[in-house]
A and B are shown apart, each in its own frame.
Chain A
Amino acid sequence: EVQLAESGGDLIKPGESLRLSCAASGFSFRDAWMSWVRQAPGKGLEWVGRIKSKGGGETRDYNTPVKGRFTISRDDSTATVYLQLNSLSAEDTATYYCVWETRVAVFGRWGRGTLVTVSS
């Protein structure tokens, strides 16, 4: 059974950093392209970024609002994808979802999400 389990969400102060994790199981993680998507409370969905597989060059792409502040990485040995969030502001308050791109251009499987709250 495919599982994606995010963790690491917390209440933190503006300017601080946080690292989110997403533990994957039930599929070939090393071949997987993984994205992060966030959703501010009561708002819509926003794509954060993606990391391709090593076979895909491990290319990382980011959305403009997070470029230079957020970094996606992966550890194929533990089937985990990470999202490092730096220089956080209140606008980054959201539930962060880990997503497996089950096929190119198909966001087929989502984790349950982890909540990040940025507040002084």
Chain B
Amino acid sequence: DIQMTQSPSSLSASIGDRVTITCQATHDIGKFLNWFQQKPGKAPNLLIYDASTLKTGVSPRFTGSGSGTDFTLTISSLQPEDIATYYCQQLHDLPFTFGGGTGVDLK
């Protein structure tokens, strides 16, 4: 199975900060990577697919980059509504696998 390693597992940031989350795959997955945001008690919500394509309606504060084994999700200017847990997911090989998640809260 392809393992997805996210870092950090949690972070604290201030409103307006630039936030960066990384996701590393154990094998080359091309650009078959999704990023999700999950708020407490809610279902995950797709933010970015194909590693860098923003889902329609998602704030352009969110950008994704990378290919192969190394990927990044960046929030350009953290807002209160961005407080959540973020997950990456590879869909290159079965079984599809998720990173362990990165919890983002306010400093």
Decide: B46 and A107 in contact? CB cutoff 8 A. yes
Decide: A107 and B34 in contact? CB cutoff 8 A. yes
Main secondary structure of the interface of A (DSSP, over half): strand
Decide: A97 and B32 in contact? CB cutoff 8 A. no
A57 contacts chain B at the CB level, 8 A cutoff:
no
**Chain A CB within 10 A, most for which of B1, B42, B43, B101:** B43
Task: Name A44's contact: one of B42, B46, B95, B98 (CB within 8 Å).
Answer: B98
Decide: A44 and B100 in contact? CB cutoff 8 A. yes
Cα distance A50–B50 in the bound complex, in angstroms: 19
Decide: A105 and B95 in contact? CB cutoff 8 A. no
Cα distance A111–B45 in the bound complex, in angstroms: 10
Decide: B98 and A45 in contact? CB cutoff 8 A. yes
Decide: B98 and A46 in contact? CB cutoff 8 A. yes
Decide: A44 and B32 in contact? CB cutoff 8 A. no
- Asked, given contacts A45-B87, A105-B32, A105-B49, whether A112 binds B43 with beta carbons under 8 Å apart, the answer is yes
Cα distance A64–B93 in the bound complex, in angstroms: 13
Tally of contacts, chain A with chain B, CB under 8 A: 59
Residues of A within 8 A of B97 (CB): 47
Cα distance A7–B1 in the bound complex, in angstroms: 30
Give the number of residues in A that approach B within 8 Å (Cβ atoms).
22
Task: Name A61's contact: one of B45, B89, B95 (CB within 8 Å).
Answer: B95
Decide: A108 and B55 in contact? CB cutoff 8 A. yes
**Chain A CB within 10 A, most for which of B55, B89, B95, B100:** B95
Residues of A within 8 A of B87 (CB): 44-45
Decide: B89 and A107 in contact? CB cutoff 8 A. yes
Residues of B within 8 A of A45 (CB): 36, 38, 44, 87, 89, 98, 101
- Asked, given contacts A105-B91, A111-B43, whether A47 binds B49 with beta carbons under 8 Å apart, the answer is no
Q: What are 17 A-B pairs with beta-carbon distances under 8 A?
A: A44-B87, A44-B98, A44-B100, A45-B44, A45-B87, A61-B94, A64-B95, A103-B49, A105-B32, A105-B49, A106-B34, A107-B36, A107-B46, A107-B91, A111-B43, A112-B42, A112-B43
Contacts A64-B1, A97-B44, A113-B43 known; 7 new A-B pairs at CB < 8 A: A44-B101, A106-B34, A106-B50, A107-B34, A107-B44, A107-B89, A108-B49
